Amino acid sequence: MGLLNSVEMFKKAYDGGYAIGAFNVNNMEIIQGITEAAKAENAPLILQVSAGARKYANHTYLMKLIEAAIIETDLPICVHLDHGDTFELCKSCIDGGFTSVMIDGSHLAFKDNIALTKQVVDYAHAQKEYITVEGELGRLAGVEDDINVSAEDSSYTDPNDVEEFVKSTGVDSLAIAIGTSHGAYKFKGEAKLRFDILEEVSKRLPGFPIVLHGASSVIPEYVDDINKYGGEMPGAKGVPEEMLRKAASMAVCKINIDSDIRLAVTATIRKYFSENPSHFDPRQYLKPARDEIVKLVSNKLVNVLGCNNKA
C-alpha cells in the first residue's frame, strides 16, 4: 500500500461516520505497537511526528522506521507533521517524504494565520504527489513541546471564521477547539465538549473533514497504576470515550492521540520494575510496554474510532 496523503482516508471516514486515529510516534516500540494493532484490525492509519519527536529521534530514523512498518504490514499509512509552527519546518518535512503536514497558526491573528497557512498549502499542493495540509482555528489549552497554553489563553473556534479560513487558505482539513486540551489534565470537573460548535462548523463546511486534537481519554487504569507504583498524577482526566465516538460519527475524521500511549508505556514500565526490581535489560520492560500499546490502540480503533476493517 505504501505512504499516502489523507484525502481518500478522510473522504471515506466522513461518508462512513468514523474517524482515523492519528497517533504520535517517537521511537521504534511505539511505531511497532501502533502498526501491529492497525494490522490486526485492518485499519487505515495516520502516524504523526511533532517537532519535539523529530528533534528526539531524528527525521530519517522516524521515516525509515515507518517505511519498515509499511513493509511489515502493507497498510495505508499517512505520515503527518503534528503542530508545524513555521513554513520552513513544514517544507523540510515535505521535502523529507511526509505525505501530510499541519501548519498550526492558531496563536496568530486571523489574517496572519491565513497568510502562513496559505504559504504552506501553496507549497504542499504544488508537489508532484499532492501533500495534504491541516490548519487550525481556535486554541487548545495544554502543553505541546515547550509551549504551555493556559486555560485563560485558550479559545473555542468561532464558527463564523471557518468558511473564510478554508476558502482563503485551501486547507484539506481543519482542527477546531471545542474544549479538549493537550496532555493528561484536561478537565477539572465534569468533561464538557462544545458539540454545538462542531455542529455549526460542519453546517458551514459540508463534507469537510474536521480534526480533534487533545483527544486522549487518559485511561484511569493507567493513571491508577502510575500512582500505585511510585508516580504522582492526581487529578489526571481525559475525554470520555463516548464523546469521541459521537465526534467520530459527526464531521470529525481525524482524532489525535498521544498522551494515552505515554501513559500506557509509563504505567507498564513502573509496574514492571516494581515486580522485577533487579531487571536491567531494556528489552524486558520495553516488550510489555509495546504489547500494552497494541492493546490500547486496538481498543481505540475498534471501540472508539470505528475504523477497523476500513483499510
User: Which one of ligand 13P, Zn ion, ligand G3H, none interacts with residue 172, CB within 5 to 8 A by kind?
Assistant: none
Interface with Zn ion, residue 213, by CB under 5 A: yes
CA distances from 229 to 139, 204, 222, 267, 276 (A): 34, 48, 10, 8, 12
Residue 245's SS3 state is helix
Q: Among residues 219 and 311, whose Cβ is nearest to ligand G3H? A: 219
Give me the residues paired with residue 255 across strands. Answer: 21, 212
According to the binding rule CB under 5 A, does residue 310 interact with Zn ion?
no
Strands (E), 8-75: 20-24, 45-50
Q: Hey, what long-range contacts does 113-118 have (CB within 8 A, 24 or more apart)? A: 113/137, 113/165, 114/164, 114/165, 114/168, 114/169, 116/87, 117/165, 117/169, 117/171, 118/168, 118/169, 118/170
What does 266 bind: Zn ion, ligand G3H, ligand 13P, none (CB cut-off 5 to 8 Å by kind)?
A: none
Asked about 82 being catalytic, the answer comes back as yes
The yes or no reply on residue 80 touching Zn ion (CB under 5 A) is no
**Nearer CB in complex with ligand 13P: 81/124:** 81
Binding site partner of 52, from Zn ion, ligand G3H, ligand 13P, none, Cβ cut-off 5-8 A by kind:
ligand G3H
* Contact string 237-276 vs ligand 13P (x = CB under 6 A): -------------------xxxx-----------------
Ranges within 185-204 binding ligand 13P (CB under 6 A):
none
Candidate list 15, 74, 82, 122, residue with the active-site label: 82
Q: Which does 53 bind (CB under 5 to 8 A by kind): Zn ion, ligand G3H, ligand 13P, none?
A: ligand G3H
- What pairing do the DSSP bridges indicate for beta strands 142-144 and 147-149? antiparallel
Rounded Cα gap, residues 77 and 46, in angstroms: 6
From CA 101, how far away is CA 124, in angstroms rounded? 8
Is residue 183 near ligand 13P by the rule CB under 6 A?
A: yes
Residues of this chain that bind ligand G3H (CB under 6 A): 24, 50, 52-53, 82-83, 144-145, 182, 258
CB of 231 to ligand G3H, least distance (A): 18
- 3-class SS at 256? strand
Number of residues this chain uses to bind Zn ion (CB under 5 A):
1
Run of H or E residues at 160? helix 159-169
Bridge partners (DSSP) listed for residue 147: 144
Closest CA to 21 of 269, 291, 211, 207: 211
Query: Which range in 5-13, 62-70, 210-218, 273-281 contacts ligand 13P by CB under 6 A?
Result: 210-218
Among Zn ion, ligand 13P, ligand G3H, none, residue 257 binds (CB under 5-8 Å by kind): ligand 13P
CA distance 13 to 10: 5
300 binds Zn ion (CB under 5 A): no
All three cell numbers of 233, joined, read: 498524577
Q: Which does 216 bind (CB under 5 to 8 A by kind): ligand 13P, ligand G3H, Zn ion, none?
A: ligand 13P
Question: Does position 82 bind ligand 13P by CB under 6 A?
Answer: yes
What residues are annotated to the active site? 82
Give the binding site for ligand 13P (CB under 6 A). 24, 82-83, 182-183, 213-216, 256-259
